[in-house]
Amino acid sequence: MIQSFADNLVYNIIGLDGSSPLGSTINFFVYDSLKIILILLFISFLMGLLNTFFPIEAIRNFLSSHRLYGVQYFLAAIFGAVTPFCSCSSIPLFIGFVRGGIPLGVTFSFLITSPLVNEVAVAMLAGTFGLKVTVIYVGSGVFLGTFLGMFLEWFKLERFLSDWVKNLQQTNESVNNDAKPCSLKQRGVQVLQEIPQVARDALGVTRSVLPYVLAGIAIGALMHGYVPSEFFEEYLSKDKWFAVPLAVILAVPMYANAAGVIPIVEVLVQKGVALGTALAFMMAVVGLSLPEAILLKKVMTLKLIYVFFGTVTVAIIVLGIGYNLSISS
């Protein structure tokens, strides 16, 4: 339906030639914009209802107050996957975890997974690449957060936290934000009461990310219409051994959320870039960025930032190579 609307608008009403670069570019932009905005609205509303039923503070308190014998890394990664944050938006909650005395490795599991896997990324990946690719991406993203959290915890890196965080930890030895017990029925009633506010919040979320979405779609549309396939095949094709490392290294300085970068990934694949290379590029863009590093400087020393970025970068490269071996585009 959306594709038919885009075709009719661009080719019949506006009168552009479908075989021309301009017509192809505008058609791609109209179709992807409408599709992604509708997905954003629906998923943001649905997750708002879930977050009302399962308060974030309750999950945070659970992770900090129970001995889970390693399961906490997986739970933190799952928590990161269901929270709709980009790499920079995850930082305030990450700081709250550290201040509350949650082990640093557990907070890393959250910080790694949160921007990589969220409801927007899942919905858009499923709509663009299908269920198989989405399941592999989500599973590997959660695994990455879980494994790297456990791996980094092994090195006892708390000594490399900033003095600001250490001082806060000394004055906040425990977190006492426990909410009063609430029955399932009471939570259900609360969710129903909050529906108007959740709808407003969903609109707000959509508005807040819309500039990034449209910018990403515009870049993707221009690449789709004007950049020849040979450009990507020369440098990022599957038979080039350096394709995945090059894609990840180029992506690290960039900054975008999943909604903004998936349209670009879609065009990269259409232009002949291996799907695994494109997904690794996406992971590096949404999971690591210079703005994130600047924000983390408040809570980490430069040495810890280097360790964190370096470890995640290498892990994404390995995942990208694994993607290319297991997924055919």
Residue 54's CB: how many other CB atoms inside 10 A? 12
Q: What is the pLDDT of residues 241-258, one digit of tens each?
A: 788 998 888 787 666 667
CA distance 318 to 324: 10
The three-class DSSP label of residue 161 is strand
Range of the domain at 189: 2-326
Q: What is the pLDDT of residues 64-112, one digit of tens each?
A: 555 666 788 998 899 888 776 665 556 656 766 676 567 888 889 988 9
Residue 62's CB: how many other CB atoms inside 10 A? 14
Residue 157 gets which letter from DSSP? G
Q: Which residues contact 235 (CB under 8 A, 6 or more apart)?
A: 243, 246
Measured N-to-C along each axis, helices 131-153 and 275-287 cross at an angle, to the nearest 10 degrees, of: 50
CA distance 71 to 68: 5
The three-class DSSP label of residue 300 is strand
The total domain count for the chain is 1
Q: pTM for this structure? A: 0.65
The three-class DSSP label of residue 234 is helix
